[in-house]
Structure 1
């Protein structure tokens, strides 16, 4: 059971904050039925059924070298994401963004659930990209038919030039999207009054740096996670629970 005093402390801090950053990871989408995943949208631990580490099978070099094999795992990820929906946590975050016009979301998730729940795209930073729409690596043609392609032989091919399609997601050994990184650092330079980290254990600099910067500048930091992470001890508040258990109530007090 979450300590109510900590919940109310977090609600009060968010209520008084103007500039807020919500950082979300796989733990948020776990309540939609998606497995928590390591790396790129994952579903995997250790080796794949092909005997390769997932970091190799689901990588940019593998997409170029053996598109069918790479797409086998992109498709597993795609089917999982298309087979579920945003949960109440996603909707609560979108509601907070409606209440607070300077509230941003930085997500590692590629499932698109923040958009589906109503988070404004102009205040949503999808740092690992998203699964749709597909685009052709040869001619750049956009193809919105991800679900249809997942029912056909893989890899999917471009209708215009027969080049291989891919999603705008960051695979292993690929660079983060330049525009998303640029937006994140622009907003970090403006500073945040409060940062709320939800369902992520990642210690990537681009995930943890906003928390550190906000603490140094005197802002409020909180974490929602079922288990403690390497960064829990440095947060002002740690709520040891699933996001779904507290987010709706948290936002209701703001």
Structure 2
């Protein structure tokens, strides 16, 4: 499918705002990694639609309580997500975001994605907040030992077991019904306290309060807000600029004007 032409006037306006901005926050969601072939949780082409093969909502199957109650069942779906992440790679939008971070030393990325593509594309880890964790390295829930062999475990019997104590391994991701990682929350709150000149929301519906809050705060303080999505969301009308399109189509064009 050929992408629709971008509104060049809006592109230039957005680029001008980003050129003048010093402190920038880029919020990314599953729509960004969809351009890498990674399916999203829900919606057309989603990894999980309706109920799982086991007749359970994905929010139940892929949850912290299920990992404790039935590790094999939970790991069945962790493995699907892990295989999808390992099968893909960063796309041109990830690299464009990393380029913007090189141009702007106070540009941060807040991602809901657990695929690790931002790191792989060159986003500085010290300016990357992975609010939902990442797929690797695995760690033992019993003794805490790390195990970097994610790919090997995905092709073996599940759940994977610790080589030291035979406890059950898990990835450092936030499953449903689990708390967000404190270091990530602390980093986000510290940066929000400093404020942002501009916030970009890319490939996300920003449905979680902690994802949309930076957008609201930036609007209140007179900063610039931009959304990039294939379709309008509940928040599009409140943005200064909404660029309709896939991230891999929009981001390189936007960065080329900065």
TM-score range, shorter chain: over 0.9
What residue in structure 2 maps to residue 68 of structure 1? 72
What residue in structure 1 maps to residue 250 of structure 2? 246
- Give the Cα separation in 2 of the matches to 1:68 and 1:204: 29
Q: 3-state SS of the aligned residue for 2:233?
A: coil
Per the TM alignment, residue 151 of structure 1 is displaced from its structure 2 partner at its CA by 1.0
**Does residue 214 of structure 2 align to residue 210 of structure 1?**
yes
- Give the Cα separation in 2 of the matches to 1:234 and 1:100: 25
- Give the Cα separation in 1 of the matches to 2:96 and 2:80: 28
Q: CA RMSD in A?
A: 1.0
**Does residue 73 of structure 2 align to residue 81 of structure 1?**
no
**Does residue 176 of structure 2 align to residue 172 of structure 1?**
yes
Instruction: Give the alignment partner of residue 149 of structure 1, picking from 153, 166, 170.
Output: 153
Which consecutive residues of structure 2, in runs of 5 or more, have no partner in the other structure? none
TM-score using structure 2 length: 0.96
Cα offsets for 1:143-191 (capped at 9, x unmatched): 0000010111000000000000000000000000111011001100100
Per the TM alignment, residue 251 of structure 1 is displaced from its structure 2 partner at its CA by 1.0
Cα offsets for 1:194-223 (capped at 9, x unmatched): 000000013211100000000000000000
Per the TM alignment, residue 84 of structure 1 is displaced from its structure 2 partner at its CA by 0.6
Query: How many residues are paired up?
Result: 252
What residue in structure 2 maps to residue 200 of structure 1? 204
Instruction: Identify which range, 68-77 or 28-37, moves more after superposition.
Output: 28-37
Per the TM alignment, residue 36 of structure 1 is displaced from its structure 2 partner at its CA by 2.0
Instruction: Give the alignment partner of residue 188 of structure 2, picking from 162, 184, 189.
Output: 184
Per the TM alignment, residue 37 of structure 1 is displaced from its structure 2 partner at its CA by 1.9
**Does residue 105 of structure 2 align to residue 101 of structure 1?**
yes
- Give the Cα separation in 2 of the matches to 1:245 and 1:173: 34
Q: 3-state SS of the aligned residue for 2:161?
A: coil
Per the TM alignment, residue 45 of structure 1 is displaced from its structure 2 partner at its CA by 1.7
What residue in structure 2 maps to residue 23 of structure 1? 27
Cα offsets for 1:65-104 (capped at 9, x unmatched): 0000000000000000000100000000001001100000
Which consecutive residues of structure 1, in runs of 5 or more, have no partner in the other structure? none
- Give the Cα separation in 1 of the matches to 2:212 and 2:241: 16
Instruction: Give the alignment partner of residue 95 of structure 2, picking from 91, 96, 110.
Output: 91
- Give the Cα separation in 2 of the matches to 1:247 and 1:180: 25
Q: 3-state SS of the aligned residue for 2:109?
A: strand
What residue in structure 2 maps to residue 33 of structure 1? 37
- Give the Cα separation in 1 of the matches to 2:41 and 2:71: 22
- Give the Cα separation in 2 of the matches to 1:152 and 1:161: 18
What residue in structure 2 maps to residue 53 of structure 1? 57
- Give the Cα separation in 2 of the matches to 1:192 and 1:141: 38
Q: 3-state SS of the aligned residue for 2:33?
A: helix
Cα offsets for 1:7-37 (capped at 9, x unmatched): 1111111111000000000110000001122
TM-score using structure 1 length: 0.98
